Structure 1
Amino acid sequence: MNELNVIVKEMQGVIKKIREEEIERFYSELQNTTRIFVAGEGRSGFMAKAFAMRLMHLGYNVHVIGETVTPSVAKGNCLIAISGSGSTQSVIHQAERSKLAGSKVVCITANEDSSLAQVADTCFVLPAATKKRGENEAESIQPLSSLFDQCLHVFCDAVCLRSSTQGTVSHEEVLARHSNTE
C-alpha cells in the first residue's frame, strides 16, 4: 500500500463533493465583517490556526479564540467555529457566546445536523470521516478525524486562494506580512 496515494484518493473523494460555489460563499462571508475569529480543538484547532495565519497574511483582521492577546468578540465580527463532529462542547460554547455578543457564527463540520450547526448562522459541510464515523461521512482507513482535518486545510486554503485572486493582494504584500523574525 502506498500511504500517500491512499490519503490523496480519500481526500479527492471528499473534495469532489464540495461545490465550487461553497468557496465563493465562504469568501463572501469574510468580506462582510470587521474582525474574524477562529475556534477549534485538537487537530481541527491547529487547522483553524493555520487558516487564521494565512488570513492575516492576506490582510484580514483575524484572531484565535483562547490566545492571551485575543480581544473580545463583538457585533459585526465573525466567528469561524470548527468541529468535525459538530459536538465539541468548548466550540459550541464559544459559538453561543459569540452569537450573544452579536457576532455572526460560521461553522465548518462534517455533521450538518450537529449542535454546532444549529447554533451557526452559516454552515459549511465537509463530508469527511471524523472520529465519530457518522453515516454521511466518507469512509477512511486513517485514524480518528485525519481525513476531515486534511480536507479542512485544503478547503480553507482554497478560500484563501480565492481571496488572493479576487482581491488585489500581491505575493509581495503577503510576504511583507509574513514573520520576519527568522
Structure 2
Amino acid sequence: MYLHAILDNFSRRILAWRLKDTFETGTTAELLKEAAKGLPENTVPSAVMDSGVENVNGAVNELVSDGTIQRILAQVDIVESNSMIEAWWRQLKHQWLYLNELDSANSLRKLIDFYVEQHNSVVPHFAFQGQTPDEMYLGNGAKVPVDLKEKRATARAARLAQNRALSCDLCRAKTSEPALVSIQNNTS
C-alpha cells in the first residue's frame, strides 16, 4: 500500500491524501491539483517536497512547467527538510496505525480517514495556542487562544480557592497550637 498526502505548511492541515494499492508516479500530481482547488485564482503555491520519484516525474514536472505549482526540493533548493510532513507520517504510524489491526486495505483506508479528520478538525495544535489545523487554514479560530486563556485563569482561581478551603486534622491541630517563639541565647 502506498499513502500520499499534501500538508499545508502554515496550518499543518492535510489538504489531500490518497491510499493506492500500487505505486503510481502520477498520484502526487493528482493530489497537488486537488490540494490547490481552494486557492484564489492565479495563485501559484510553493510545494516543498523531497526528490523522490513520486515528486520528480513527468506529471509533476508538467505542473511546474505550466505554472500550476512551484516545486521546491527540500535539502536541494532550500537547506530545510520537509520535516512537517515527515513528522505527520511518524505520528500517523506510531500514534495511530500501529495501535490498530491493519488487516485489509479497507480498514487501513478507514483508519487513515479517521486520523486525518481528527488531525484537521479536532486535535488542537500547541503551535497554534489551541487552534486546530482547520481553524488556522480557514481563519475561523482567532478567538480560541483568548477563550483558552480566560478558561485557564478561571480554572486556576477555582483550584486555588478549593485548595485553600481544604482542611485536615493535622492542619487544624497546627493552627490551634500556640505559635512557637524562637529564643536565641546571646553568649558573648
Give the structure-2-normalised TM-score.
0.30
- Return the structure number with greater relative CO, CA threshold 8 A, min gap 6: 1
Question: For the pair shown, which has the larger CA radius of gyration, 1 or 2?
Answer: 2
